[in-house]
Structure 1
Amino acid sequence: MSRFVKTPLAKGVLASASLVGATIVYLDFIRAPASPTLQNSYKPLQKQLAAPPSREKLIENLRSTPKFDVLVVGGGATGTGTALDAATRGLSVCLLEKNDFASGTSSKSTKMAHGGVRYLEKAIFQLSKAQLDLVIEALNERGNMLRTAPHLCSVLPIMIPVYKWWQVPYFFMGCKMYDWFAGHQNLRSSTVFSREMTSAIAPMMDDSNLKATCVYHDGTFNDSRMNATLAFTAIDNGATVLNYFSVEQLLKNPAGKVTGVKAKDVETGEEFTINATAVVNATGPLADKLLEMDNDPQGLPPKVEQPPKMIVPSSGVHVVLPEYYCPRDMGLLDPSTSDGRVMFFLPWQGKVLAGTTDTPLKNVPANPIPSEEEIQDILKELQKYIVFPVQRDDVLSAWSGIRPLARDPRLVPDNAAGTSSTQGLVRSHIVYVSPSDLVTITGGKWTTYREMAQETVDTLVKNFDFDGKNAKLLPCQTNKIVLNGGTDYSKNYSARLIHEYRIPLKLAKHLSHNYGSRSSLILELYHESDFNKLPITLAAVKSFEPSEQTASTDNQLSYQSFDEPFTIAELKYSLKYEYIRTPIDFLARRTRLAFLNAREAASAVTGVVEIMRRDLNWDDATTKRMTDEAMDYIGKMGISSKRFDVEDFVVQ
């Protein structure tokens, strides 16, 4: 024994054991425990906030500003991202959107902040560095989204069901490579679940032939609220951002260079001449419309509608189903659909989001509508995994978005317009500067919106002289700016709301995950007027009276009576802080009620219209038009015609 103790190895083992033991004794028995910091670790809830500039004030900025540095046309993700990037560098910015923020493709995505596992598979098997660069770029931007909008973005585990043993290591290795390429921004480590574990987590799945599931992690987010929040954050940073302003003509100087636009206030018909050093076309799938105006010497649109040349449009349909179609906190990826695409089935906002399809189009419709065939295709794919019959009547809502695949117009012959030709097609986004200096940014995907905006503004700074400002401009700031509602937010914010306001857990999560640290402003609204006497659910409101006497057997104003946690206070908040102008702005984009449950949204239209009528001073004709437009929009969101009758929802 004495000979053993004398060896260097044994001495080293004993010394290490002694050190570990002494450390444990010190940490557990000698060192005094740290004082609890819970009471001091959070700032007080935000209960007051000055209203942002009114729409009238922003319109006055148009009249009083001789020339903006940058004019952005298009209020989707890329447009608002570009406005925020330019404003935070020190440029004067104007953004015009002819409808509402996120009224097009940016509200109709798969709600995923992701690198794209399918792109990674193609990169490996096709030995494509371009595809791999796309994945790494998107994974980096996924981290930026989670960091800059922590209230709107969260981590979501996603299962890949495996039905053959040999595929288990294949899919698992793919998931691990996805982790590796994310680098230090990897969210969580991928893993493998056994059949038994999968069944416990997802009892709705048919496990009769299941071998295992591979689980990786991506981000999920609320796309239209993210889009609108970008717009509001840009306004807070000095940008003039207006929805419901249409561009009627591009202004050109004698040299043929674009110097601004003629725009019209959609609400009043008033026309404005807006001058700018640089004009950015960020209209997504409608990019060709502005390029057609650019091709005209007078900057006017063609008299006959033209097929798209730069954009290769395709329709992507999603459906929303009840929560029992998917685990509450874990998604499902179908890696091999019948048409060769991947399809997601994801928990989102308390429901299940399923999609997407890919249907080529010849033109870009103003308001694409999901076809019954596309809805059935999604349900058919879902049925492969679900142990009970998938019912068409379970579809709560459905919508179609246009995927803006982009071609470099310099590489596309004129006779290729309106075709699905891939000539000149770029796998990512494209920044194109036309001979007239119109800058077009299109392509890409939601996850890379920030990098697209950064590249666009970099192009502006390089190619335009902003009256000597260029050398004084800041570098890009958007990779560190926290968007409105993200400041002082923490993932347990809902618990703080419950403690402060004694509200139901479902409502607390709904508010905190959609409004972040501004949730308390919504709840404070209940204490500022008589409508705090109303119960908390908006979907119940068919006529608005600030009195609980309006409750009846036909109009039960009770939170417990409804499944959707959308509130009257959210509507009042949106009117004060979020520039809503129509009922659909609120029902479909500031909240997601129309996207989550179209029938419930239809039942709320009359109440929403009544509140907005009083706040915005609508006359009877406007009130009727707003009601009709809202019911028409919601009626096209995938509800079976047998189950939807406008007369059932409109209170006369």
Structure 2
Amino acid sequence: MASFFKSAIFKASAASGAVLGGTIIYLDFIKTPNTPSSNGPYKPLLKSLPTPPSRSQLVENLKNTKNFDVLIIGGGAVGSGTAVDAATRGLNVCLLERTDFASGTSSKSTKMAHGGVRYLEKAIFGLSKAQLDLVIEALNERGNMLRTAPHLCTILPIMIPVYKWWQVPYFFAGCKMYDWFAGYQNLRSSTVFSKEMSSAIAPMIDCSNLKATCVYHDGSFNDARMNATLAITAVENGATVLNYFNVEQLLKDSNGKLIGVKAKDLETNEIYTIKATAVVNATGPFADTILDMDEDPQGLPPKISHPPRMVVPSSGVHVVLPEFYGPKDIGLLDPSTSDGRVMFFLPWQGKILAGTTDSALKSVPENPIPTEAEIQEILKELQKYLVFPVHREDVLSAWSGIRPLVRDPKNIPKGADLTGATEGIVRSHIITKTDSDLVTISGGKWTTYREMAQETVDKLVKEFNFNGSVKPCQTNQLILIGGEDFTTNYAARLIHEYRIPLKLANHLASNYGSRASLILELYNQSDYNKLPVTLAGQKDFRPNQSTVTSENLLDYESFDEPFTVAELKYSLQYEYARTPIDFLARRTRLAFLNAREALNAIDGVVEIMKNEFKWNDATTSKMKADAQDYIGKMGVSPERFAVEA
């Protein structure tokens, strides 16, 4: 019997060796090698592109369209995503945003495309199928974001510090389950780092009592730029997308059914009547405002504001710190803060992003402001992991966003005091339709925006009669603008073509993708376009100069933040930036990365925009004051700007 097993083992080993040897011979000697990249499989860099329809052209289209198929109120992640979905199916779409794309919650996320490890833990120990479904849904959509916007979304490893030996297998098992539920879209396999390896990767972390770190992988992305990209992708697919348009009234026919809206162009104060077959409320935290208007027979806003019934408002605060507060290429997850939540400390845009808090609110503020207590709470949690003191003056920026937790408003009595109530809250999203045919989509999270948009348009196609055939959903395969022909070595191609330093190349490639070369074409047109926006408004540097006349030629390399005049001009031509805040906070992330630098840049940005848009002195002063007020409240000074809790 023993000899039989030895013989079987020998034969199996020989067979395996033969297979391995044959594979090596095939791969090394028979298979035709791949064509080297240098032989030209890449398309030439984009040197020019027709500008999209101007805002005035879009307004003209608004005037000339008798009836849109779909009218979307709200230009955040879900509203813009719905516009892309509907437009690519062949529907005639109009989107109206009261301020700017991603001006609210959609620019104030934790910048993660993720399934949610904490939801997985709740699903397992709470035996919650709903939580598990949410994790699997988000993991699938995480893969979609990485595929359709490869320039804006990247894979980020995240380490979980473990301080007790028995917790190592516990956390590692959780990480492996996270991998398993991602299925074929799993990013990379989870692993365990020793104390020594963890210390080498993150030398700023206090490893004195550390046993190991468990490492899993998620996605990291630039939320506001993703939102603007969606809006412009919708325009490129035929949608009429307008920021700074406020819906003043919902229009109803004699049967009480919605037939459109009256909206004001906030730049000209002109009122427009816009007709549509279907109206979608995608206003996020402000969904209750539109629902209140829908309940009014005339479609007007209520004279007295009511407590929100659909949205359960709570604020989440994040802070940004210098890069030395964390490792460059790996994040940190605090699995249990002092109040039982999780907190992230993540590398983002060359800085460290830390958050988030969770504070219940009675109403939804127009522009939530972080309190000093919330900032200190985050710094206190971070201090547990660092070998050096955390200083308040190191906070470069801080902001507050409203969490999109929702419940079905049909189950909530009107006028009920719901402060602190959590009954009926769903962690996913809700799509409702009122008696007047207003469709509302709310809830969810950034990662699932595409699926939320798809379900919304599916409902519209099912519930409304659109003339002509409607295509099936296209967004699972659609590559968003900037993602076309983008490769991970795009920064190297920019360096080779334009002879620019690595920092600028990485910045442009990771924010604009294959359209980064358009900015560099502007960059090469004049020395003035190479200036940091911080310098653009100074008297030594004039917009009409073709060369910089300063004694010392100053460009972005003299400054920490690589935001130039060329980037501002690109955003004005291609991305519908209308105010200094649009550029400083959302088209670029300067205000979110370094509020002090953003304050210094206001004069330069205002100077250029004033010349572009022909602002008068009153408008120029207002734009400057608004930008100073907005950015000044982003945590730059606890004495002057923070609102005490």
TM-score by length of 2: 0.95
> 1:22-101, aligned counterparts within 5 Å?
24=24, 27-28=27-28, 35-101=35-101
CA distance change for structure 1 residues 438 and 209 in 2, over 3 Å: closer, same or farther? same
Q: CA deviation at 1:419?
A: 2.0
CA contact (8 A) 1:313 1:361 kept: yes
The correspondence for 2:474, drawn from 472, 477, 483, is 477
Q: What SS is found at the alignment partner of 2:404?
A: strand
The number of residues matched between the two structures is 636
Q: CA deviation at 1:307?
A: 1.6
What is the distance in 2 between the residues matched to 1:189 and 1:26? 29
Code of the residue aligned with 1:309 in structure 2: it is R
CA contact (8 A) 2:530 2:566 kept: no
CA contact (8 A) 2:534 2:603 kept: no
| 2:430 aligned partner | 430
CA distance change for structure 1 residues 501 and 138 in 2, over 3 Å: closer, same or farther? same
Q: CA deviation at 1:642?
A: 5.5
Code of the residue aligned with 1:430 in structure 2: it is I
| 1:522 aligned partner | 519
| 1:466 aligned partner | 466
What is the distance in 1 between the residues matched to 2:16 and 2:116? 46
Q: What SS is found at the alignment partner of 2:259?
A: strand
CA distance change for structure 1 residues 37 and 256 in 2, over 3 Å: closer, same or farther? same
> 1:256-335, aligned counterparts within 5 Å?
256-335=256-335
The correspondence for 1:538, drawn from 529, 533, 539, is 533
CA distance change for structure 1 residues 499 and 57 in 2, over 3 Å: closer, same or farther? same
What is the distance in 2 between the residues matched to 1:301 and 1:33? 67
| 2:112 aligned partner | 112
What is the distance in 2 between the residues matched to 1:489 and 1:463? 38
What is the distance in 1 between the residues matched to 2:13 and 2:190? 35
Q: For structure 1, which segment, 303-312 or 42-51, has the greater mean C-alpha deviation from structure 2 after superposition?
A: 303-312
Code of the residue aligned with 2:221 in structure 1: it is F
| 1:630 aligned partner | 627
Q: CA deviation at 1:12?
A: 5.8
Q: What SS is found at the alignment partner of 2:313?
A: strand
Q: What SS is found at the alignment partner of 2:143?
A: helix
Q: CA deviation at 1:40?
A: 1.8
CA distance change for structure 1 residues 13 and 187 in 2, over 3 Å: closer, same or farther? closer
| 1:141 aligned partner | 141
> 1:348-359, aligned counterparts within 5 Å?
348-359=348-359
> 1:218-233, aligned counterparts within 5 Å?
218-233=218-233
CA contact (8 A) 2:306 2:415 kept: no
What is the distance in 1 between the residues matched to 2:198 and 2:246? 51
CA contact (8 A) 1:89 1:477 kept: yes
What is the distance in 2 between the residues matched to 1:428 and 1:624? 43
| 1:371 aligned partner | 371
Code of the residue aligned with 1:362 in structure 2: it is K
Q: CA deviation at 1:41?
A: 2.0
Q: CA deviation at 1:7?
A: 5.5
CA distance change for structure 1 residues 396 and 11 in 2, over 3 Å: closer, same or farther? closer
| 1:551 aligned partner | 550
CA distance change for structure 1 residues 310 and 492 in 2, over 3 Å: closer, same or farther? same
What is the distance in 2 between the residues matched to 1:296 and 1:257? 12
Code of the residue aligned with 2:343 in structure 1: it is M
| 1:206 aligned partner | 206
Q: Which consecutive residues of structure 2, in runs of 5 or more, have no partner in the other structure?
A: none
CA distance change for structure 1 residues 519 and 342 in 2, over 3 Å: closer, same or farther? same
CA distance change for structure 1 residues 343 and 641 in 2, over 3 Å: closer, same or farther? closer
Q: What SS is found at the alignment partner of 1:605?
A: helix
What is the distance in 1 between the residues matched to 2:401 and 2:31? 60
What is the distance in 1 between the residues matched to 2:447 and 2:24? 46
| 1:568 aligned partner | 565
| 1:603 aligned partner | 600
Q: What SS is found at the alignment partner of 2:277?
A: strand
CA distance change for structure 1 residues 268 and 8 in 2, over 3 Å: closer, same or farther? closer
What is the distance in 1 between the residues matched to 2:455 and 2:287? 17
Q: CA deviation at 1:11?
A: 5.4
What is the distance in 2 between the residues matched to 1:361 and 1:198? 39
What is the distance in 1 between the residues matched to 2:311 and 2:37? 55
Q: For structure 1, which segment, 22-31 or 514-523, has the greater mean C-alpha deviation from structure 2 after superposition?
A: 22-31
Q: How far does the alpha carbon of each residue in 1:470-501 deviate from its partner, in whole angstroms, 9 at most, with x for none?
A: xx211111111000000000111001001111
CA distance change for structure 1 residues 434 and 22 in 2, over 3 Å: closer, same or farther? closer
Q: How far does the alpha carbon of each residue in 1:355-382 deviate from its partner, in whole angstroms, 9 at most, with x for none?
A: 0000000000000000000000000000
CA distance change for structure 1 residues 34 and 547 in 2, over 3 Å: closer, same or farther? closer
| 1:339 aligned partner | 339
What is the distance in 1 between the residues matched to 2:87 and 2:14? 63
Q: How far does the alpha carbon of each residue in 1:22-63 deviate from its partner, in whole angstroms, 9 at most, with x for none?
A: 654565467775553432221110111000001011000111
Q: How far does the alpha carbon of each residue in 1:542-574 deviate from its partner, in whole angstroms, 9 at most, with x for none?
A: 335125555368xx7332321001111110100
| 1:162 aligned partner | 162
Code of the residue aligned with 2:144 in structure 1: it is N
CA contact (8 A) 2:556 2:563 kept: no
What is the distance in 1 between the residues matched to 2:203 and 2:439? 51
Q: What SS is found at the alignment partner of 1:416?
A: coil
Q: Which consecutive residues of structure 1, in runs of 5 or more, have no partner in the other structure?
A: 646-652
What is the distance in 1 between the residues matched to 2:137 and 2:481? 25
Q: How far does the alpha carbon of each residue in 1:493-533 deviate from its partner, in whole angstroms, 9 at most, with x for none?
A: 001001111111111000000000000000011234xx335
What is the distance in 2 between the residues matched to 1:473 and 1:518? 31
Q: What SS is found at the alignment partner of 1:217?
A: strand
CA distance change for structure 1 residues 54 and 197 in 2, over 3 Å: closer, same or farther? same
What is the distance in 2 between the residues matched to 1:642 and 1:314? 24
- Percent identical across equivalent pairs? 72
CA distance change for structure 1 residues 170 and 23 in 2, over 3 Å: closer, same or farther? closer
CA distance change for structure 1 residues 33 and 277 in 2, over 3 Å: closer, same or farther? closer
Q: What SS is found at the alignment partner of 1:511?
A: helix
The correspondence for 1:613, drawn from 607, 610, 613, is 610
Q: What SS is found at the alignment partner of 1:439?
A: strand
Code of the residue aligned with 2:380 in structure 1: it is K
CA distance change for structure 1 residues 370 and 14 in 2, over 3 Å: closer, same or farther? closer
CA distance change for structure 1 residues 340 and 18 in 2, over 3 Å: closer, same or farther? closer
CA distance change for structure 1 residues 643 and 473 in 2, over 3 Å: closer, same or farther? same
What is the distance in 2 between the residues matched to 1:130 and 1:82? 24
Q: For structure 1, which segment, 478-487 or 29-38, has the greater mean C-alpha deviation from structure 2 after superposition?
A: 29-38
Q: How far does the alpha carbon of each residue in 1:246-292 deviate from its partner, in whole angstroms, 9 at most, with x for none?
A: 00000000111111000000010000000000000000000000001
| 1:648 aligned partner | none
CA distance change for structure 1 residues 11 and 148 in 2, over 3 Å: closer, same or farther? closer
TM-score by length of 1: 0.94
CA distance change for structure 1 residues 478 and 27 in 2, over 3 Å: closer, same or farther? closer
Code of the residue aligned with 1:441 in structure 2: it is I
Code of the residue aligned with 1:288 in structure 2: it is D
CA contact (8 A) 2:106 2:446 kept: yes
What is the distance in 2 between the residues matched to 1:19 and 1:295? 72
Q: What SS is found at the alignment partner of 2:497?
A: helix
What is the distance in 1 between the residues matched to 2:430 and 2:30? 62
| 1:360 aligned partner | 360
